[in-house]
Amino acid sequence: MSERTVTVASSVGLHARPASLFAQAAAKVGVPVTLTNAAGKSVNAASILGVLSLGIGHGETVTIAAEGDGADAALDTLAEVLNTDLDKEE
């Protein structure tokens, strides 16, 4: 099991647009990834509903975890997504 603890950079937190981009990215990495919020609640990172249900705000710390072949590469990719301010759209 590999893990990364990341601070959410998106200025409005992990809500609709960032949550959707993050879940899409998680669905593409090829290994199942779990997302856990600071309160310890875990969801499937590829589920938009799951990600939204955690209600993660800007600057909150989350943990992503995966296991198996490619887990580290997958987590590096997703950590990068979380480190980016996904709300910058203009």
Partner 1 sequence: MSEETTPLTELLAEASIDLDASAASRDEAIRLAGAGLLAVGAIDESYVDAMIDRENSVSTFMGEGVAIPHGTLAAKDSVKSDALSLVRFPAGVDWDGNDVRIAFGIAAKGNGHIALLSQLATVLMDPEKAAALRAAETTEQVYALLESDEDE
Distance from C-alpha of 32 to C-alpha of 67, rounded to nearest angstrom: 8
Is residue 58 annotated as part of the catalytic site, yes or no?
no
Q: Are strands 2-7 and 42-44 parallel, antiparallel or unpaired?
A: unpaired
Residue 55 or 68 with smaller CB distance to partner 1: 55
Which CB sits closer to partner 1, 13 or 70? 13
Among 21, 27, 73, 79, binds partner 1 (CB under 8 A): 21
Nearer to partner 1, 2 or 84 (CB): 84
What are the residue ranges of helices labelled H in 1-90?
16-28, 48-53, 71-82
How far from 21 is each of 18, 40, 58, 82, 88, CA to CA, in Å? 5, 22, 16, 10, 12
Q: Which of residues 23-62 bind partner 1 (CB under 8 A)?
A: 47-58
Please tell me which residue in 9, 15, 44, 79 is annotated as part of the active site: 15
Question: Which residues are known to be catalytic?
Answer: 15
- Residues lying near partner 1 in the complex (CB under 8 A) are found at 12-13, 15-17, 19-21, 47-58, 87, 89-90
